[in-house]
Amino acid sequence: MRGFLFLRLISITNQRPHCRQVSDIGGAVIVGASITAENVATGERRSAATGQSSTFDISFLPAADYRLSVAAPGFASATYNHVTVTGTATSTINVMLEVALANVHVEVNDAPPVIQASSPELATTFDVRTLIGMPLSTRNFMQLATLAPGVSTPVTDNRAVGRNTPNFSVNGARFSQNSLQINGVDASDNAAHDLGEVAIPAPESIREVVVQTSLFDASISGAGGGSMHVTTQSGTNVLHGNVYEYFRNDALNANDPDLKAARLAKPAMRRNVFGATLGGPIGKNRIFYFLSYQGTRERNGATDQSLYKNVLIAPGLTDDRRKQPC
C-alpha cells in the first residue's frame, strides 16, 4: 500500500495560497503527515502538517534550493534533495510514501521534476549561470528581458555611457506599463514608471531574474505590460565570493565602416568594469552577510553625438541659410 503527498511550494513574491490533498493509493486521506522544507544554503526551516481535510501548503519561501522531509505515522519517512524553488512560481512536487516500520527511511537525491500546474502565467527565469555567462555589453541585467518571448526593445547601443537601461515593450504594451521588483519591493520610478532610473545591481550579486510576460495574477501590482522580478544573492553557511574584471578596448575592435570610408581613425573606446562579492555566516544558521562592489572606468569617444559629425556631409553642403544667387 502506498500513499501520495502533493506538496506545493510558493516563492517569496507569490501570494496565491492554495492547498493540496494528501491521500493513499485507495483515495483515503493521510492525516497528520509532517513536511519540512530546509534551505540548504542557510539552514532555515519551514514546516507544515496535513489536517483533517488532508490539505496543506508551505508559502512565502525565498528562491533557493531546498531539502524536503516528509513523515507520516505508519509510513517510511522520505527526504528529497535538490528541490529548487524559483521566484514568482508555484512548484508542485508529488511525494510517494510506502508503508513500512518507523525506522525505515528513504532518501531521494534526484528530486522529481517541478511541475507548474497551478498557474497559466508565462514566465522566463534566468539563473546565476545565465547572468554571469551572457555577454551583457553594459553589464546591465535588464538587457536579458529581450530573451523572453513577446519582448521587444531598441538595439542596445554598447557605446552609450552609463547604465544604458533598455525600455522594453511586452506584447505591444507601452514600456511605462512594465513593473520591476527587487526582492519583492517595487523598484520602478514612482513618477513616470520608467525603469531607466532604478538601481542596477551587478549581475554577480543577483540570484535570479524572472520575466513575466502574460497571464500573471493580480498580486503583480502596477503591471499592465510585463513584470520583472529580481532576487539578489545572500550569505550562506559557507564562505563564498568572487573577483572579476571585464574590459573593452578599441585595439580589439574594428573601425566603424562609415569612419573607415571617410579615412578617419576609430575613436577611443576603453572600458573597465571590475568588482568583487563576498558572503558568509556571522552565526551559523542564524545571521548572514553578503557584500558586493562594482566600479566602472571608461574613456569613450564614440558617442552618438560625435561619431558621425562632419563625416557624412557631402561636399558642397553647408549650414548657410542665406538665399543663394541663381
Give the model confidence (pLDDT) of 224-255 as tens digits: 778 888 999 989 999 999 999 988 888 888 88
Classify residue 113: in a domain, yes or no. no
Classify residue 114: in a domain, yes or no. no
Do residue 161 and residue 197 come from a single domain? yes
pLDDT of res. 10? 39
pLDDT per residue as tens digits for the range 50-91: 777 766 778 888 888 888 888 888 777 888 888 888 877 777
Per DSSP, the chain holds a count of helices (H) and strands (E) of: 2, 21
Classify residue 167: in a domain, yes or no. yes
Nearest to 161 by CA among 311, 301, 308: 301
Do residue 140 and residue 164 come from a single domain? yes
CA distance to 120, 198, 205, 224, 280, per residue, from 180 (Å): 20, 9, 17, 12, 28
Do residue 220 and residue 132 come from a single domain? yes
Classify residue 319: in a domain, yes or no. no
- Round to whole Å and give the CA distance between 206 and 126: 10
Lowest mean per-residue pLDDT among 48-57, 92-101, 309-318:
309-318
- Round to whole Å and give the CA distance between 279 and 287: 11
pLDDT of res. 306? 56
Lowest mean per-residue pLDDT among 87-101, 111-125, 168-182, 217-231:
111-125
122-126 and 179-182 strand pairing: unpaired
Which has more pLDDT, 162 or 70?
Answer: 70
263 band by pLDDT with thresholds 50, 70 and 90: confident
Residue 290 has pLDDT above 90, yes or no: yes
What three-state secondary structure class fits 137?
coil
Lowest mean per-residue pLDDT among 53-57, 266-270, 277-281, 312-316:
312-316
In this structure, which amino acid lies at residue 229?
Answer: H
Residue 158 has pLDDT above 70, yes or no: no
pLDDT of res. 13? 38
Counted domains in the chain: 3
pLDDT of res. 280? 93
Do residue 150 and residue 60 come from a single domain? no
**166 burial type by CB count under 10 A (0-12 exposed, 13-18 middle, 19+ buried):** buried
Question: Which domain, by its residues, includes 251?
Answer: 240-300
Residue 256 has pLDDT above 50, yes or no: yes
pTM strictly above 0.75: no
Averaged confidence pLDDT in the chain: 76
Residue 130: enclosing H or E segment and its boundaries?
Answer: helix 128-133
Q: Which position has the grid cell 505591444?
A: 172
Do residue 219 and residue 254 come from a single domain? no
Residue 129 has pLDDT above 90, yes or no: no
pLDDT of res. 200? 82
CB 233 within 8 A of CB 131: no
Do residue 35 and residue 82 come from a single domain? yes
Do residue 228 and residue 244 come from a single domain? no
Residue 117 has pLDDT above 70, yes or no: no
Length of the chain, in residues? 326
Do residue 75 and residue 159 come from a single domain? no
Name the grid cell of 183.
526582492
161 band by pLDDT with thresholds 50, 70 and 90: low
CATH number at residue 70: 2.60.40
How many other C-beta atoms lie within 10 A of the C-beta of residue 311? 13
Which has more pLDDT, 216 or 289?
Answer: 289
Classify residue 318: in a domain, yes or no. no
- Round to whole Å and give the CA distance between 280 and 294: 19
pLDDT of res. 325? 63
Cα dihedral across residues 110, 54, 63, 178: positive or negative: positive
- Round to whole Å and give the CA distance between 167 and 40: 37
pLDDT per residue as tens digits for the range 8-44: 343 333 333 334 555 555 556 677 888 888 999 898 8
pLDDT of res. 70? 84
- Round to whole Å and give the CA distance between 236 and 279: 7
CATH number at residue 194: 2.170.130.10
Which has more pLDDT, 116 or 295?
Answer: 295
CB 172 within 8 A of CB 149: no
**What's the number of CA atoms in the CB half-sphere (13 Å) around residue 185?**
6
Which of 77, 108, 139 delimits the end of a domain?
Answer: 108
Do residue 224 and residue 131 come from a single domain? yes
